[in-house]
Amino acid sequence: MTLLPKLQQIPAEIACVADYESFARERMTPSAWAYLAGGAADESTLADNLAAFRRIRLQNRVLEDLRGGHTRLDLCGLALDYPILLAPVAFQRLAHPEGELATALGASAMGAAMVVSTQASVSLEAIAQAAQAPLWFQLYIQPDRDFTQDLVRRAEAAGYRALVVTVDAPVNGLRNREQRSGFALPDGVEAVNLKGMRGLPPSIAQPGSSPLFGSPLLEHAPTWKDLEWLQSITHLPVLVKGVMNPKDASRAVERGVAGILVSNHGGRTLDGLPATLDVLPAIARAVQGRVPLLLDGGIRRGSDVFKALALGASAVMIGRPYVFGLAAAGATGVAHVLHLLRTELEVTMALTGCPTLDAIEASLILGSS
């Protein structure tokens, strides 16, 4: 099929982040779209991530003094201009030939921190050389622990500022949309940072036998002990990504993590999980401000960022929105998505009487105390 060329300038029809979706889809192969846009199973969690923000209503405030307003914050050693980071997304060359390099350029133009995926389609060192904004490295603890340690050393040497350990995907979710599309990585797109890693022996379930339990994959799945091991081998702050249960959040804090990312993997692992926004307040109560909380999943408006902050998050990460911008218009699209969300956040703050992020509180959510 013939794909439309990337946009050379942003048309007037793109007035908000959601407008990028159709432009992106026309510029990606159907299988790449299925991979980057799809979710697990019936995609109910994917849909609920979006719906949760729509269910929330705001309370406005009037005649507040907004002089000196700003959106600055300190987050795990980073001084950020606004509380929106780019979440780790694998294989970004599926969306644009320059992949993560274009994303890094767009993030740098907007001063936004970027979290680079273990499964990036560009080397972590090349991304670090291209970026002019802070970088964190998202890490899957691999069955090959020696290789995992080497990845950590590479991230440290390249100047990454923190490790974000994904803990909610010991196995891939059942992504039926991908299966139906026949998704396979095209030539020239691969997880370049994992080259040379020792793989697990192949495991093919026989009829009548367990397809998963007892397999090498689960036998080598990371545990809390592996998190402690990771913390012991690095000087970087370690955050955990994929926490949806307050008990796990408390346990992570007790083990000295630097931050927690409330995430259901964008609805890509276990379908039927609640929306991240719906579990955020309970996790915030469990954590009690001891470490920063971040949230991803379903954010499409700056007002969504505001809602997450009001319910306990320190900052948010976005995934699909900037990937859609990348697919449509490369680095310019990534930068524009960030600009749109920051602008909408500031408008929401002004209309709710909040000159700074510290003023955003639960009382500005209708029905909250």
How distant, in Å, are the alpha carbons of 246, 265, 365 from that of 281? 9, 18, 12
Query: What would the mean pLDDT of 212-230 be, rounded to a whole number?
Result: 86
Shortest CA distance to 264 belongs to which of 284, 278, 247, 250? 278
- % of the chain at pLDDT higher than 70: 98
Residues in the chain: 369
Which residue spans within 51-161 are E strands per DSSP? 73-75, 78-80, 84-86, 114-116, 135-139
Cα 19 to Cα 325: distance, rounded to the nearest angstrom: 9
Residue 203 has pLDDT above 70, yes or no: no
Residue 53 clears pLDDT 80, i.e. is over it: yes
Question: Left (φ > 0), alpha (ψ -120 to 50) or beta: where does 289 sit?
Answer: left
Q: Please compute, for residue 5, the number of CA atoms within 13 A of its CA located in the half-sphere on the CB side.
A: 4
Give the C-alpha separation, 56 to 71, whole Å.
Answer: 22
Average pLDDT over residues 277-284: 98
pLDDT at 214 over 90: no
Cβ atoms of 25 and 33 within 8 Å: the answer is: yes
Asked if residue 51 has pLDDT above 70, the reply is yes
Residue 270 pLDDT exceeds 80: yes
d(CA 329, CA 85): 19
In order, the DSSP letters of 23-71 are: HHHTTS-HHHHHHHH--STT-HHHHHHHHHHHH--B----S---TT---
* Average pLDDT value for residue range 310-338: 98
Contact 39, 268 (CB under 8 A): yes
Instruction: List the single range of 124-128, 200-204, 261-265 with lowest mean pLDDT.
Output: 200-204
Tokens 């009001």 belong to 310
pLDDT in tens, 239-248: 999 999 999 9
Q: Which residues are catalytic?
A: 265
Choose the weakest-confidence range: 55-69, 85-99, 214-228, 269-283. 214-228
Rounded to 10 degrees, the C-alpha dihedral 303/307/309/311 comes to 180
Cα 49 to Cα 44, 45, 313: the distances in Å are: 9, 6, 15
The closest of 86, 56, 24, 123 to 275, measured between CA atoms, is 56
Question: Is the predicted pLDDT of residue 211 greater than 80, yes or no?
Answer: no
Instruction: Say whether pLDDT at 147 is over 80.
Output: yes
